[in-house]
């Protein structure tokens, strides 16, 4: 059973378009992290959100943590080819040391 569901699994759009990817769960997390992984490399942390309702912005990327701390979204404005990659969300529960990982959204931005 996947505790963190990411959607869509795959997204291919044109440069300049906006997009949103989602990370959903029925479980409550104490924090949630978003990573981006480029082909042949390890994931790199983009952001950590810890407070329900929290919104963080990183240039054209906007991350939101749901009020109930069960879900999160990543919105990209004016996507660029450099945004191409696998976007992974990972949640932390107070009762566990390990992160719970989603399966990822594979994003392709076409020039």
| Binding residues for other proteins (CB under 8 A) | 6, 30-31, 33, 40-45, 48, 50, 86, 88, 92-94, 96-99, 101-104, 106
Closest separation in Å from C-beta 25 to other proteins: 14
Tell how strand 19-24 and strand 5-7 pair up. Answer: antiparallel
Q: Which is nearer to other proteins, 9 or 18 (CB)?
A: 9
Find, among 39, 41, 20, the residue nearest to 89 by Cα.
20
CB of 35 to other proteins, least distance (A): 8
* Per-residue tokens: 34: 């978003």
CB 94, min distance to other proteins, A: 7
Which residues fall within 8 angstroms of residue 4, CB to CB, at 6 or more apart? 23, 24, 25, 89, 90, 91, 100, 101, 102
Nearer to other proteins, 16 or 43 (CB): 43
């Amino acid at each position: 059973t996947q505790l963190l569901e990411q959607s869509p699994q795959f997204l291919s759009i044109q440069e300049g378009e906006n997009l949103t990817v989602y990370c959903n769960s029925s479980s409550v997390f104490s924090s949630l992290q978003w990573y981006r992984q480029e082909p042949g490399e390890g994931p790199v942390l983009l952001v950590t959100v810890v407070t329900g309702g929290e919104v963080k912005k990183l240039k054209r990327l906007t991350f939101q943590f749901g009020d109930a701390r069960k879900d999160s979204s990543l919105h990209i404005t004016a996507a660029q080819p450099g945004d191409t990659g696998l976007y992974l969300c990972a949640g932390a529960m107070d009762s566990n040391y390990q992160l719970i990982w989603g399966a990822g959204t594979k994003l392709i931005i076409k020039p």
